Amino acid sequence: MKDIWWPVIVPALLFAIAIGTTTPILIIAGLQAGGSQPTAAAIVALMGVASLICTVPAGNFIDRVGDARAMVVASLAAIVVTGITVVALMLHSLPLYALGLFLRAPIQDLWNLARQAFVATVLPPEDLGRGMTALGGTMRVGNLLGPMVSAGLLYIWPVWSVFVFSALCALAAIIVLQLPAARAFEDVAGIGREKPSSADKKSDTHPPLSQLDIRWNAVILSGISVITLGLARSAMPAVVQLWGVELGLHKSTISLIIALGAAVELCLMIPGAFIKDRMGRATTLCSCLSIFGLGLITMVLIPTASGLWLSMFIMALGNGLGTGINMTIGADLSPTEGRAKFLGVWALFNTVGLLGGPSLISALVALATLHIGVLSCGGLAVFGAAWMFLWRNQIKLPKKVR
**pLDDT, tens digit, 9 for 90 and up, residues 254-263:** 888 988 888 8
Residues in the chain: 402
Domain membership of residue 193 (yes or no) is no
Nearest to 84 by CA among 64, 110, 102: 102
Read off the CATH number of the domain in which 181 is found: 1.20.1250.20
Q: What is the pLDDT of residues 73-99, one digit of tens each?
A: 999 999 999 999 999 999 999 999 999
Q: Which residues contact 318 (CB under 8 A, 6 or more apart)?
A: 287, 288, 289, 290, 291, 292, 293, 294, 295
Do residues 386 and 287 make contact, with C-beta atoms less than 8 angstroms apart? no
Do residues 396 and 308 make contact, with C-beta atoms less than 8 angstroms apart? no
Coil, helix or strand for 307? Answer: helix
Q: What is the pLDDT of residue 85?
A: 96
Torsion of CA 289, 294, 300, 305, to 10 degrees: -100
Residue 6 pLDDT grade (very low, low, confident, very high; cuts 50, 70, 90): confident
In terms of residue numbers, what domain contains 351? 2-186+213-395
Q: What is the pLDDT of residues 18-34, one digit of tens each?
A: 999 998 899 889 999 99
**357 CB-side CA count, 13 A:** 27
Amino acid at 396: K
Q: How many domains does the chain have?
A: 1
Cα-Cα end-to-end distance for the chain: 16
Instruction: Mark out the alpha helices in 178-304 (DSSP H runs).
Output: 180-183, 185-189, 198-202, 216-247, 251-267, 269-274, 281-301
Task: Tell me the pTM.
Answer: 0.75
Distance between CA 167 and CA 251 in Å, rounded? Answer: 21
pLDDT above 90: residue 14: yes
Nearest to 258 by CA among 232, 238, 278, 288: 238
Q: What is the pLDDT of residues 352-376, one digit of tens each?
A: 887 788 778 878 888 888 899 999 9
Q: What value does the CA radius of gyration of the chain take, rounded to a whole number of Å?
A: 20
Domain membership of residue 106 (yes or no) is yes
* Percent of the chain residues topping a pLDDT of 70: 92
Q: What is the pLDDT of residues 197-252, one digit of tens each?
A: 444 444 445 666 667 778 899 999 999 999 999 999 988 988 998 899 999 998 88
Q: What angle do CA 115, 229, 256 make, to 5 degrees?
A: 80
Sign of CA dihedral 61, 342, 172, 186: negative
pLDDT above 90: residue 118: no
* Arithmetic mean of pLDDT over the chain: 86
Domain membership of residue 191 (yes or no) is no
Q: What is the pLDDT of residues 157-207, one digit of tens each?
A: 999 999 999 999 999 999 998 888 777 655 445 444 444 444 444 444 566
Distance between CA 320 and CA 43 in Å, rounded? Answer: 27
Q: What is the pLDDT of residues 262-292, one digit of tens each?
A: 889 888 888 888 888 788 899 999 999 999 9
Distance between CA 388 and CA 349 in Å, rounded? Answer: 14
Domain membership of residue 80 (yes or no) is yes
Residue 47 pLDDT grade (very low, low, confident, very high; cuts 50, 70, 90): confident
Q: What is the pLDDT of residue 301?
A: 95
Domain membership of residue 47 (yes or no) is yes
